Structures are given as C-alpha cells and as structure tokens.
Amino acid sequence: MDRQSDGSPFEHLVVDTGMWVFGKSLVIPAGLVTSIDPAARVIQVACTKSIVKGAPVFERDHDTRDPAYLGALSTYYTSLATTS
C-alpha cells in the first residue's frame, strides 16, 4: 500500500501492484480489503484480479482528489456489487 485516503468521501487505498499488474498503482476501495499482512507486504481483497484491473485507470496522485475520477471509481465498483 502506498497511501490511504484522508478526508476523502471515497475511502480507498492506493496500492503499488509491483509485477501483479505490470508495475502500476491501483485505487482499491477500503471496503474491499479483507486482510493486510504488513510483514509480507500483501493486501487481500474481496474481488478478482480482473475486476481490479478493469477499474478506471489511476495515473497521478491528483486523481484521488478529483471528484470526477472518484465518482467513476464509485460507479464502477458499485455496479459490480449490484450485478453480483
């Protein structure tokens, strides 16, 4: 985990995926986190890799303060919850 949201209406983590998703950082809603192992530097989430990879692209820190980007993330993850 690179950082977490502070004061954002959309609680989230910014996660450096390493080689898991070709070295990209991804924004993960905090509610999807099922466990964190700090020693192993592993975060488990309640969804598949393909779901996380399909989320709106995170490109820069400013995105996590952009209401349009956070809205797109919220819409994406909410739509998955309503279709499952």
pLDDT of residue 39: 93
Res 2: pLDDT = 45
- What average pLDDT does this structure show over 66-79? 88
What is the rounded average pLDDT of the residues 48-58?
85
Instruction: Please answer whether residues 59 and 27 qualify as being in contact, where contact means their C-beta atoms are separated by less than 8 angstroms.
Output: no
Burial of 28 (0-12, 13-18, 19+ CB in 10 A): buried
